[in-house]
Structures are given as C-alpha cells and as structure tokens.
Chains A and B, each alone.
Chain A
C-alpha cells in the first residue's frame, strides 16, 4: 500500500490541490486513494495506470466541487451563508507562482481541469479526453478557452466574470 502511495501521491496531490484548493485537498486525496486501492485489482490496462490515477483524482475533485457548490447554494438559500472567500482578483505583474496558482483556482471547473492536466501536468489531449470523457477536439477547444480566460484573469479584467 505504501509503495503505491509513494509512487502516485505526487500527481494525485498536485491535481487535487489545484482542482479543489489546499484547504480541502486532504479529504479529496483520501477519497482518491480509497478508489485507487479499491479499483486497482480491476484495472484493465486499456490506458496507462497514470491516466487511470489522474482520472480518479479528477473525478474525486469534481465530485467534491459539485457537493461544495450544492452546499454553498443551500446555505445561501437558508439565508445565513456568507460569501465563500474566493481568492482575491489577480492583478498584472510577473507570473509568479502564487499569482498563477490563484488564477488557476478562479477558472471554471472544466477549464481548470484541462489547463492543469495539459499545461501543468503535460498530458496529451488523447489522455485528457479519456479522463474527462470528452472528444479530443473538445479537449483542445476547452484548453484554448481556458488559456484565454487565464490571460484575462492575469490581466485583472475577468477576475469576477
């Protein structure tokens, strides 16, 4: 168990952190590894194990984000929820690490996933299409849109759009 963890925790943790934020990463990483240990015996080898692990990490993150969204809406409806503290708008300047990480967190979920998987993790569009259940062309067009949104976020224009 520890070997599997050590081999893959880097990619699981990186993707999950960037998808859900640092604060909730531990919970989602736990869920991802529970799925990995549960499913490893059934892994059919039709993709690389790395792609499969990315898929479980992304799915765990998306499940969590959907639950968090529903929860936020419900709490707002109950009339007592304060606005969730988003990361502050990103202003222009050098592309330092913190600025980039903040801008990634502000992307819509699908854009965030494709940008992290392609531009940060270096996956191909074929792999991303398998992970996300998209066509290859969708992965490409989502990536181009995600980069355009990043540019606007980094220029400080679209931080709240």
Chain B
C-alpha cells in the first residue's frame, strides 16, 4: 500500500475487486474481473493490496479495556438504576415541564408590540426594553431548568465529558453576554434582538442535546 510510485486500481473496477476478494461475484462477473486482471497491472496490484489490508485489519484484534473501566461502568449503571427507581415520576414531571416551558418560549417568539400611537423616543426605548426583558425571562427560565437537570446528571459523566460540558457552557455564556450587551445597547433593533434570541436558542438546543435520550435500541 505504499502508494506513491504504485499504480492504483482502475476506479471502475475497485469495488468488484473487493467483491472478488470476498468471493461474492457470480461466475460471469468473476470471469470478467479475472480477464481484466490479466491485462491490468494496476488492478493486480490493487487486489494484492486489498488482501494485505484485509489481513492487517483482521490482525488488529480486540482492544484491551483499561482495568478501571469496570468500576466506572458499574457506577454508571447503578446510579442510572437508582435514578430510574427513585426519580421516575419526578423526572417525567420535570421533563414535561421543561418541554412545556421550552416549547412556550419557542412557539411564542417575543417581539416588542407595535404601539399604535406616537410616542417619544424615550418611551419607545423603555417599552422595547421591557418587552426584551420579558422575552429573555422565558428563555432564562427554560435554560435554568435544563441546567438543573444537567447538574443532576453530571456526577454520572466521565471527567472529560464534565470538563467539556463546563467549557462549552462558559463559551456559550460568553457568546450570550456579548449578544445581550449589543441588544441592550439598541433594544429597538430587531436584528440584534434576533441575534440575542438565537444565542438563547443555541444554549437551549445544546442543553437539550446533552440531556437527549438515546435512540431506540429494541431487542432483536
């Protein structure tokens, strides 16, 4: 497989060489590939390389798990069992509440109401600030609840995952603070508002992913 000076197999034959190696070709296909091989040194080399690759892959064998892995798996399984036994009802209620709050937050995109009468610029700004605060409050409640749930799960996570989660949140918080600072400076600017809400939604999506249940693993 050292490739640089070697001629590779013809691209249109490459998958058939793999099938030939596995004995997966019909007699007709096999004859056709073998006939091509007689004329094509690149494909002959490709077939040899493929056999070497498959041999090397087979020889990789199992990886040795670190001895401390059992302890970490046993702890995770036992914590999960306790959590399921003790907290199933509370967990479902909390998850439902979070889902409700999040969906309320997301399904009612907050926007400053348009005042029908003419107001002074100061009054407009104050109203916009008030509406912005209300909207932010929805997001902050949802984020607070999701963070609480993540904090409950966190002791189950390996150290590396906990560190990554904390680093991610710090980064997302910084990003949120920055957009918040901009939106507060010009509360009537719809672009800055949308940027701020997008930052909140990013954090909510991130936390939902962190807490996401695994995909279906029905027994087969």
Question: Which A residues fall within an 8 A CB radius of B?
Answer: 1-2, 5, 9-11, 13-14, 17-18, 23-24, 26-27, 29-31, 33-35, 37, 39, 42-44, 46-47, 51-52, 55-56, 59-60, 62-63, 67, 70-71, 74-75, 77-80, 92-95, 97, 100-101, 115, 119-120, 122, 130, 140-141, 143-145, 147-148, 150-151, 154-157
* CB-CB under 8 A for A95 and B56, given A27-B161, A42-B219, A55-B220: yes
Distance (Å) between the CB of A20 and the closest chain B CB?
A: 12
Q: How far is the CA of A156 from the CA of B6 in the complex (A)?
A: 12
Choose, from B13-21, B128-136, B141-149, the stretch at the interface. B13-21
Instruction: Judge whether A10 and B65 touch: CB under 8 Å.
Output: yes
Instruction: Judge whether B80 and A34 touch: CB under 8 Å.
Output: yes
Given contacts A30-B73, A67-B209, A154-B3, 11 further A-B contacts (CB under 8 A): A9-B70, A24-B161, A30-B72, A59-B214, A78-B199, A92-B3, A94-B2, A119-B54, A145-B15, A147-B54, A154-B53
Q: How far is the CA of A26 from the CA of B76 in the complex (A)?
A: 11
Instruction: Judge whether B3 and A156 touch: CB under 8 Å.
Output: yes
Question: Which B residues fall within an 8 A CB radius of A?
Answer: 1-4, 6, 8-9, 14-16, 18-19, 22, 24, 46, 49-50, 52-54, 56-58, 60-65, 69-70, 72-74, 76-77, 80-81, 156-158, 160-161, 168, 171-172, 174-175, 199, 202, 205-206, 209, 212, 214-215, 217, 219-220
For B6, the closest partner residue in chain A by CB is A155
Instruction: Judge whether B214 and A11 touch: CB under 8 Å.
Output: no
Distance (Å) between the CB of B51 and the closest chain A CB?
A: 11
For A30, the closest partner residue in chain B by CB is B76
Task: Report whether over half of chain B's contact residues are helix, strand or loop; otherwise say mixed.
Answer: helix
List of B residues within 8 angstroms of A59 by Cβ: 214-215, 217
Instruction: Judge whether B160 and A23 touch: CB under 8 Å.
Output: yes
Distance (Å) between the CB of A11 and the closest chain B CB?
A: 7
Distance (Å) between the CB of A89 and the closest chain B CB?
A: 13
Q: How far is the CA of A102 from the CA of B202 in the complex (A)?
A: 32
